[in-house]
Structure 1
Amino acid sequence: MGLYSNARALAFSVAKRIVKFLYHDIKVLRALCCRPFPSRPSIKSVHEGARAHPGGIYAIFLLWQPKRFSWYVQNALESLNEAGINIVAVINHDLSEDQLAYLSGHTRSIIIRDNSGFDIGGYKDATTYLAKSNIALSRLLYLNDSTYFFKGGLTDLFRRMITSEADIIGTFENWEFTYHIQSFCFAVSGDLFRSEKFQRFWTSYLPVNSRLWAIQAGEIGLSRAMIPIASSIDIIYKPNALRPALSTLSKDDYTGLIKLYPGAIRFPHTHFLRLPKSACVDELVSRIGLRSQIHTGGFLYRKYLACPIVKRDLLYRRQFSADEIEQALLETGHEGHLDEIMTDFKRRGDSLHLSVLSRLKVANGIL
């Protein structure tokens, strides 16, 4: 049995390396080789919207909504406007006339582009667009639609991000492997935006259609570029922010919270019986910092800190089962969108049920 298991593990490792070479490494090499030569512009068109706000506060909102603008996108657009933020919508696909008309009524500008480089490629194009516009920008938010945006507390969250004095304010951070600020919702000051190093990162960033590249060279690369030049960094949802709420609970309550943690870092039900209460709180808090914190602590942040953001890939990334997600939303709040959310999760599915090739891509971080 041991020999068979070892052989399977070796075969998987070899297959994984082959898939990485074919579907990631070759794409990167091709992009690097083609870089010195003229390429087709990624931006197809730019449209002026009808919703402008005074001042220099802007948001780049990256969207992939080919059929219609979902409720969570509408929530985000409404809250950004309520906070007085000028929205530059970046769409990685073509728009219907109805979609364009709707978006025009809620944004200051609309950039329609191809999907090269995925979200980080869209951030690059919009950053370059704003830099060339000579706007007296005082604060810039970056966000995308990889999360559900619940309306309760969302406008207040955006207001906190634009009134912060920190050069960088992020909603979540990630200490797994390499520290970085998670790129689905963060903001920078005007001074940092105009800095040479920040602009150099974006002008030199090479868009490649690989999720692995977008994370390593894009999300992590961006943090490496901007963190050293930031005079201050503020993270809104940190594990220690949960301590006051957790400290008021009983040990029975702690056992009940286990289901709000992803399966991979979940405690045994008897774990808290032998620990003093302070140690229980320490354990609950420290587990959240092990991985991507919107995945590890997202439901706890929603339950105790009214966080209006929940990741849309919790099932696909096998953090929770569909039943666990449904129960967590019933406990932490879904604002009447439970059926829509569960349909969205089930539509994308669990990566375990993908083809062998796709599962190998997921194992490499390519999908």
Structure 2
Amino acid sequence: MNQPAFVGTIAYVARRALWLAWYNLQLIFIVYPAEGFWRVTALLNPRTWSYRRRVRAKLEGSVSHHGGTYAVFAMFREGELSPYTLSAIDSLNRLKVNIILVSNTVLTEAVQEKLRSRCRYVVIRDNIGRDFGAYKDGFSVLRETKEEIQRLVLLNDSVVYLLDGLDEMFRQFLGDNDYAGLTEVHDRHYHVQSFLMSFGASVLRDPRFLNYWRRYIPIGTRRWSIHKGEVGLTRMMLDCGFRPKLVASLERLKVALENDEKTDNIPALLPDRFAPAAYQSTNPVPYVLSVFGEKNQIHVGAFLLTRYAISPLFKRDIVARGVYSPERLKDISGILGLDLPMLLQQQEIHQRRRHTSWISRILFRFGSI
């Protein structure tokens, strides 16, 4: 090895060691203490342990469908309803799905009536446990009805639901699969992503599935929701022998990309982190597929999945989480024919300006808030 290469290697190792040291110091002295404090506080809160204390109201709606298919739709929305949430609700009704809408915020009377005219039940609860807390309480409400459940869909409003293709996508969650999800994550902790999942009758009768929800503690930190919620549920399902059927699978994306004779726009649809390498490749398809298979798929492939009519949705926090810059969204809007900056301005749930202190920025980067 020549001297410049040797010096370069030493410099890289030194930078990597310093980065790892700083990373672990942040975990040990900031992230873990904050997470521990929040969890202990939640465990001392009586509402964490009591479904009756969490649920403020259970309102009966006017829409009921035969067939035993139900959806628990977790919503966190203040003020007026999002038109994209209403698009998802109306699509599910067209497919004869009974909707238990669970709101983690207090709703105005006007919003309550609008939802009751579209749902089987509207549940208003305290925001304890995020979406998994809402899923848990919505499932409890459903089981209290003693109605026969043949299929259960869990979904939330952390995504923007685009109308075009929505019925076709939801229909794939209502088939014969015991366990279905839209996308999965292979980065760090494997799991099926929880913003849209479906479970068949075999799963719903399995005592291990019922015990999971009975024993789940609705603690509201983001790391808890991921590790005990998404990861915990996925592991339980796999341990029970239920393999997920992925609607937006790697295989479907692979077929779509390989059948597209014009791949010039593919790099432009990728997140900021991965776009440069794709632009430098003479054939971006293998690179895109490798990244999609290894990372957070709804972040890496959201606009690719939309472009190829595989899933008409994307996460509401993609700008706030630093996945895409506002400038990149303007370019992507031209490719997809959508005004993404306008959509996300209306839908954003994590504004960067809320994280002004250096501690909150660290907690944000580590996914604690």
TM-score, normalised to structure 2's length?
0.88
- Aligned partner of 1:238 among 242, 249, 252: 249
Pick closer, same or farther for the CA change 1:157–1:205 going to 2, 3 Å.
same
1:362 corresponds to which residue? Answer: 364
1:121 corresponds to which residue? Answer: 133
Q: What is the correspondence of 1:166-181 to structure 2 with a 5 Å cutoff?
A: 166-181=177-192
Contact 2:278 2:287 in 1 (8 A): no
CA distance in 1, matches of 2:47, 2:56: 21
Identity of matched residues, %: 27
Determine helix, strand or coil for the equivalent of 2:273: helix
Q: Shift of the alpha carbon at 1:60?
A: 0.4
2:280 corresponds to which residue? Answer: 271
Contact 2:104 2:134 in 1 (8 A): yes
Contact 1:289 1:296 in 2 (8 A): no
Matched, 1:63 2:75: yes
Contact 1:254 1:272 in 2 (8 A): no
Contact 1:169 1:187 in 2 (8 A): yes
CA distance in 2, matches of 1:312, 1:346: 5
Pick closer, same or farther for the CA change 1:63–1:179 going to 2, 3 Å.
same
Post-superposition Cα deviations, 1:50-100, rounded to whole Å, max 9, x if no partner, equal 111112000000011111101111101110111110000000011111011
Q: What is the correspondence of 1:70-149 to structure 2 with a 5 Å cutoff?
A: 70-149=82-161
Q: 2:248 is aligned with what amino acid?
A: Y
Contact 1:263 1:319 in 2 (8 A): yes
Contact 1:120 1:207 in 2 (8 A): yes
Post-superposition Cα deviations, 1:78-128, rounded to whole Å, max 9, x if no partner, equal 101111100000000111110111111010001110001111111111112
Matched, 1:191 2:202: yes
Pick closer, same or farther for the CA change 1:23–1:344 going to 2, 3 Å.
farther
2:268 corresponds to which residue? Answer: 259
Q: Shift of the alpha carbon at 1:153?
A: 0.9
2:6 corresponds to which residue? Answer: none
Determine helix, strand or coil for the equivalent of 2:277: coil
- Aligned partner of 1:155 among 151, 159, 167: 167
Q: What is the correspondence of 1:10-25 to structure 2 with a 5 Å cutoff?
A: 13-25=24-36
CA distance in 2, matches of 1:4, 1:352: 31
2:7 corresponds to which residue? Answer: none
Q: 2:274 is aligned with what amino acid?
A: I
Determine helix, strand or coil for the equivalent of 2:148: coil
1:200 corresponds to which residue? Answer: 211
Pick closer, same or farther for the CA change 1:6–1:234 going to 2, 3 Å.
closer
Pick closer, same or farther for the CA change 1:83–1:333 going to 2, 3 Å.
farther
Q: 2:345 is aligned with what amino acid?
A: T
Q: Shift of the alpha carbon at 1:36?
A: 12
- Aligned partner of 1:229 among 226, 236, 240: 240
Task: Identify unmatched segments of 5+ residues in structure 1.
Answer: none
Q: Shift of the alpha carbon at 1:304?
A: 1.2
Q: Shift of the alpha carbon at 1:179?
A: 1.6
Q: 2:309 is aligned with what amino acid?
A: L
Pick closer, same or farther for the CA change 1:186–1:166 going to 2, 3 Å.
same
Matched, 1:305 2:305: no
Q: Shift of the alpha carbon at 1:20?
A: 1.9
Determine helix, strand or coil for the equivalent of 2:320: coil
* Aligned length in residues: 356
Q: 1:363 is aligned with what amino acid?
A: R
Contact 1:316 1:348 in 2 (8 A): yes
Contact 2:180 2:245 in 1 (8 A): yes
Contact 1:89 1:110 in 2 (8 A): yes
Q: 2:84 is aligned with what amino acid?
A: Y
Q: Shift of the alpha carbon at 1:189?
A: 0.6
Pick closer, same or farther for the CA change 1:232–1:360 going to 2, 3 Å.
closer
Post-superposition Cα deviations, 1:266-301, rounded to whole Å, max 9, x if no partner, equal 34366333xxx6xx5322211111211011011111
Q: CA RMSD in A?
A: 2.8
Task: Identify unmatched segments of 5+ residues in structure 2.
Answer: 1-10
Q: 2:146 is aligned with what amino acid?
A: N
Q: Shift of the alpha carbon at 1:222?
A: 0.9
Q: Shift of the alpha carbon at 1:308?
A: 1.0
CA distance in 1, matches of 2:65, 2:201: 17
Q: Shift of the alpha carbon at 1:245?
A: 2.8
Pick closer, same or farther for the CA change 1:209–1:323 going to 2, 3 Å.
same
Q: Shift of the alpha carbon at 1:314?
A: 0.9
